[in-house]
Chains A and B, each alone.
Chain A
Amino acid sequence: MEKLIKLLRQNARLSNEELAVMLGVSADEVKEMIAKLEADGIIKGYSAIIDESEYDPNSVFAMIELGVTPQSQSGYEDIARQIASYDEVASVRLMSGTYDILVEVIGANIREVSHFVSQRLATIDAVQSTATHFVLKAYKDNGIIIDGEEKDERSWICP
């Protein structure tokens, strides 16, 4: 299981047959293991890792720190879920430390992201403060090098 997850993390597009060969089990077993991981809610989905700056140089990726007043019944849950339901939001995490919730947002341009923060996030009653950090450049994402992949400096051929 552990090795399967490691392989899928690196490349979720490996076929069951390829995974089976590498793990020394049958393709059916791989299929079963993946089905179980999905059913148990361990694997939540599969997505591509996109170099946003290559894909759309105008797009903007921002990390927004929110200071939030916990609600009497639900604490942070309802607010976090509400934020997570917005399409613009890539991730929502409850954090320890000087702020409470970290939101990752992707927008077509700076104005769109600013608008989203001021109109949608800052207006939530429980949100006390926001601090928006725009990402200047990504080097690594989800374990994949985005920029600055090291060149293989080994000799082409050696005995």
Chain B
Amino acid sequence: MIDYEKVLNGRIKSTKPSGIRKYFDMAETMEGVISLGVGEPDFKTPWVVRQEAVNILDKGKTNYTANSGLLELRKEIALYLKNKIDTDYDPKNEIIVTVGGSEAIDLAIRCIVEPGDEVLVCEPSFVCYKPIAELSGAKVVSLETRAEDDFRLTAEALKEKISDRTKLLILPFPNNPTGAIMTRKDLEEIAEVLKDTNIAVISDEIYSELTYGEKHCSLAQIEGMRERTVIVDGFSKAFAMTGWRLGFLAAPKPITEQMLKLHQYAIMSSPTVSQYAAITALRQCSADIVKMRDEYNMRRRYLVDAFNRMGLECFTPKGAFYVFPSIKSTGLTSEEFCEKLILEKRVAVVPGNAFGDCGEGYIRVSYAYSIAHLKEAIKRIGEFLEERNKVS
């Protein structure tokens, strides 16, 4: 009989499964649960994009594309980046179309990191950076961001954690789960620390279209930073295209050359129908982005106000579609809070510590839901807190 213990990769065996699985399982077995737990837009993909996909299927354009993606799409991406972050990327060899932002992150980390390297990861943050870096044999060093700094990465915190072995910094802003953004000034301070080092940066900008009151700024825009920055971006959040699995990387040619090899062997090319549809998204859907952003913004204001009123202190996020209120005043841990909330009031939220240890004491609440839905959830959370206050 086969001995799975011996057959399977030790590193993947020791990787922890995502901490939020438990709540997912709980929610699924219960009646009447309302969720504030998702990380994808509630909007539909704009109609013109869906229609283009139908057209492309009709025409039978279902072959592989070039490894790095349709040139026409890469050209549109280059234009889009020029408009958004005023930075030039050569569509011929500095852009790779990937299977979602997720593949882009995987490619970028694996092409940079080797066993023994140290990778600096801002936390709290999206759950995949650490396991992927560890699978490559790297040591992950957490850069904790704090509420008192508006959950931004500070130059001091970065300086403190840099060692001779530091190879890579992961900079995920606008941030999931905190909703924090980095301003140009913040990034300039980070650039000052990085400029004389040989540290590369993965700038995960998947939420960059969703900032409120301030336009997104990329590290690549700061003088001297483009050469070391790998931009991860995509269509999922900006164009409500999660299920199309389409993202992209933009980086200097010496980096993309290596990444393209891995992409070519592991993926071949990203989904063809999605690529054609994405061209339409970039050409025709900027008004849809504005509409969605306005709608998210109203919900964001509503939730921040509601949580603060209920006594759960909530930092005002300026990006993404999450709020990250503190639940420390309840005396519960994040996991206890989430478990009791779902059992007693049937509201599913995500414990902050699922995004790194320093997320303890917080919960992540998504506002990719209608106002009516959010109101009902806030009503239930209010009741939950009131009942707890009575008991204690």
User: Which A residues lie at the B interface, using CB under 8 A?
Assistant: 3, 7, 10-11, 14, 18, 21-24, 152, 154-159
Contacts and interface: CB of A to CB of B under 8 A. Distances in A.
B126 A156 contact: no
A7 B355 CA distance: 34
B305 interface: yes
Contacts of B27: 156-157
B220 to A, nearest CB: 25
B140 interface: no
Given A11-B371, A21-B305, A22-B298, A156 B35 contact: yes
Given A21-B305, A152-B42, A159-B126, A3 B371 contact: no
15 contacts: A3-B294, A11-B372, A22-B299, A156-B28, A156-B35, A156-B38, A157-B27, A157-B37, A157-B348, A158-B24, A158-B38, A158-B40, A159-B20, A159-B126, A159-B128
Contacts of A156: 23-24, 27-28, 33, 35, 37-38, 348
B340 interface: no
Nearest to B364: A159
Among A18, A21, A156, the one with the most B-chain Cβ atoms within 10 Å of its Cβ is A156
B25 to A, nearest CB: 9
Contacts of B137: none
Contacts, number: 62
B354 interface: yes
Interface residues of B, number: 30
A23 B42 CA distance: 20
Nearest to B38: A154
A7 B302 CA distance: 13
Query: Residue among B18, B40, B128, B298 with the most chain A CB within 10 A?
Result: B298
A24 to B, nearest CB: 6
A18 B304 CA distance: 12
Nearest to A7: B298
A137 B348 CA distance: 35
Contact of A157 (B24, B128, B301, B305): B24
Given A156-B24, A157-B24, A159-B20, A21 B38 contact: no
Contacts of A22: 298-299, 301-302, 371
Given A22-B299, A159-B18, A159-B126, 19 more contacts: A7-B298, A7-B371, A10-B371, A11-B371, A22-B371, A24-B301, A152-B35, A156-B27, A156-B33, A156-B37, A156-B38, A157-B35, A157-B350, A158-B20, A158-B37, A158-B38, A159-B20, A159-B128, A159-B355
